Amino acid sequence: MSGPTPAIAAVVRAGVAHEVHQIGHDPAVSAYGQEAADALGVEPERVFKTLVSTVGGQLVVAVVPVTGELSLKALAAALGAKSAEMADPSTAQRSTGYVVGGISPIGQKRPLPTVIDESAARWGTIFVSGGRRGLELEIAPADLVRLTNGRLVPIGLAR
């Protein structure tokens, strides 16, 4: 690892209790979250993916369990908009400063409004990307909400 990512630096700066987990990432794997859950030996429902969407013409971060999908309808409703759509990956990368598969909800180049699926509150800690593929950040859901100025809302759909 070549120094802390912006996400790790932000958590350390805030003095938030956390744990960083470096896992081997297989470049042939595109299901990053499931790969992380398997490597960490934790319930996949505790591992969350960070998705960038466009809602009402603005970029928004949605954080949902890797075991499910994002409800674009619920995300739009949570933000008082009529519709939402997934952002183009290159737009997401440019805006956050992270690569797809390593986008963290914390320490983004340009902080975006953040909505976290309410299921996160069921766990003492959850795992989100630490800002690099193969780097997971374990953090309390309440701390994630605080660091991102986020909100807990039911935006996840079971697969």
The CA distance from 1 to 19, in Å, is: 15
Domain extent listing, the chain: 6-158
Strands (E) across the chain are located at 18-22, 48-55, 58-65, 68-70, 84-86, 114-117, 126-132, 135-139, 151-153, 156-158
In the three-class reduction of DSSP (H, G, I as helix; E, B as strand; rest coil), residue 67 is classed as: coil
Q: For tokens 């079971």, what's the residue?
A: 158
Instruction: Please provide the CATH number assigned to the domain covering 6-158.
Output: 3.90.960.10
pLDDT digit of tens for each residue in the chain (159 aa)?
A: 457 899 999 999 999 999 999 987 777 777 777 788 888 999 999 999 999 999 999 999 999 999 999 999 999 999 999 999 999 999 999 999 999 889 999 999 989 999 999 999 999 999 999 999 889 999 999 999 999 999 999 999 987
H and E: helices and strands count for the chain:
5, 10
For residue 47, what is the DSSP state?
A: B
